[in-house]
Amino acid sequence: MSDFNYQQLDDLIHSRIRLAIMAALASLETTSFKQLKQAVGATDGNLSIHLKKLEDAEYITVEKTFIDRKPISIYALCPKGREAFNAYIQYLETILPTN
């Protein structure tokens, strides 16, 4: 195992729900709030709070629109978010044992 420094982990991503959000968005081009809720398994309020933190950090973007008079929020990773997620995954890979 290489030297592990927990301080190198991105605190913004290193939350179960935010990590799940980032992983879902990394595999999709865009997704709706409803789809993220299903993928992550969080409540509306909890998911909203975590999405706002990621949006404030400019890791994700949100586009709000209406379809049949219903509000729809569509989320996507920003380049900064994709870079942060990739760096997070790469760092985790350096601390995993290799067999």
**Distance separating alpha carbons of residues 39 and 30, to the nearest angstrom:** 13
Q: What is the pLDDT of residues 33-66, one digit of tens each?
A: 999 999 999 999 999 999 999 999 999 999 999 9
**Distance separating alpha carbons of residues 65 and 86, to the nearest angstrom:** 29
Q: Is the pLDDT of residue 2 over 60?
A: no
**What is the token pair recorded at 1?**
């195992």
Q: Is 58 left (phi over 0), alpha (psi -120 to 50) or beta?
A: left
Q: Which domain holds residue 24?
A: 9-91
Q: Give me the chain's average pLDDT, please.
A: 90
Q: Is residue 79 part of a domain?
A: yes
**Could you give the number of structural domains in the chain?**
1
Q: Is residue 98 part of a domain?
A: no
Q: Is residue 2 part of a domain?
A: no
Q: Is residue 4 part of a domain?
A: no
**Distance separating alpha carbons of residues 28 and 13, to the nearest angstrom:** 17
CA distances from 12 to 21, 34, 86 (A): 11, 22, 13
